[in-house]
Structure 1
Amino acid sequence: MNATNLATATPGASAAARPADPRAARATTDVRRFAWLMAQLGLLLGVFRLYDIEEPSFGLLALLVTGGFALHYWTPFAWKSTLLVAWSLGSAYVMLPAATATLLIASGLLLYGVATAPVAFRWRLVAVLLLTGGLAYARAIVVPGVPPEFWPIFGALFMFRYIIYLYECAYAKATPTLADFLSYFFILPNYYFVLFPVIDYQTHRQTYFRRDIHEVAQQGIVWIARGTIQLMLYRLVYHWKGPSNAPEVVTSFGALVTTMVLTYLLYLRVSGQFHIAIGFLHLFGYDLPETHRKYLLSRSLTDFWRRINIYWKDFMVKLVYFPVYFRMRRSGEMRAQVVATGLVFLTTWFLHAYQWFWLRGDFLMTWPDTLFWAILGGLVTVNLLIEQRKPARAAVKAPPAWWREPLQVAATFCLIVTLWSLWNAPSVGEWLDLLTWWKVG
Structure 2
Amino acid sequence: MHKKLDELSVETSASNLSLGGILLNELAPEPVTYPLVSFIIRNWNYARFVGSAIRSVRNQTYPNFEAIVVDNGSTDDSRAEIEAEIADDPRFRTIWLDENLGALAGALKGLDVARGDFVTFVDSDDYLLADFAAMHVQAHLALPRGVAFTSSAVIEIDATGAALGTGLRGLQLETRNGGLRSSFLVLRLSEVSGAQFDQLDRSIVAHPPTENGWLWSPGTSNMFRRFLLETIRPRAKPDVMFGLSADGHFCRLAHVFGGSATIAMPLSAYRLHGDNFFAGNPALDGVVDVSGPARRFFPARRREAMRVLVEDAASLSARMGAWRFWSSIAQVLDSDGVSSVQVFEAPQAQAIISENLPLLFATFGKWNTLRKLRELMSRSALQAILHAADHGSAAYAPRMIGIEISMLEARLRRKRRAKAARRGLRR
TM-score calculated relative to the size of structure 2: 0.30
TM-score calculated relative to the size of structure 1: 0.29
Q: Which has the higher contact order (CA 8 A, sep 6+)?
A: 1
